[in-house]
């Protein structure tokens, strides 16, 4: 049976367990399109962020 050579410190144990506190990402409803999107992210359907057009939509030529 494998036995650890040294005791794991509280700091290293905390680093390992830090991922346990992660929670599911939150989504909000976009004011303009009504689609769900992440907070502080561009709405990929419309290309808008905070009321401004950031991404230019491609034409289907």
Burial (CB < 10 A; 0-12, 13-18, 19+), residue 42, is middle
Q: In this structure, which long-range contacts are made by residues 38-43, counting pairs with CB atoms below 8 Å and at least 24 apart in sequence?
A: none
- On the CB side of 21, CA atoms within 13 Å amount to 5
Query: CB–CB of 38/26 below 8 Å?
Result: yes
- Does this model's pTM top 0.95? My answer is no
Note down pLDDT in tens along the chain; length 61 residues: 899 999 999 999 999 999 898 899 999 998 878 889 999 998 888 888 888 999 887 776 5
Do residues 56 and 42 make contact, with C-beta atoms less than 8 angstroms apart? no
């Amino acid at each position: 049976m494998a036995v650890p050579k040294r005791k794991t410190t509280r700091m290293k144990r905390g680093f390992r367990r830090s991922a346990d506190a992660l929670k599911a990402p939150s989504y909000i409803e976009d004011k303009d399109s009504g689609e769900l999107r992440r907070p502080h992210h561009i709405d990929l359907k419309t290309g808008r962020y905070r009321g401004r057009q950031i991404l230019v939509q491609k034409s289907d030529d």
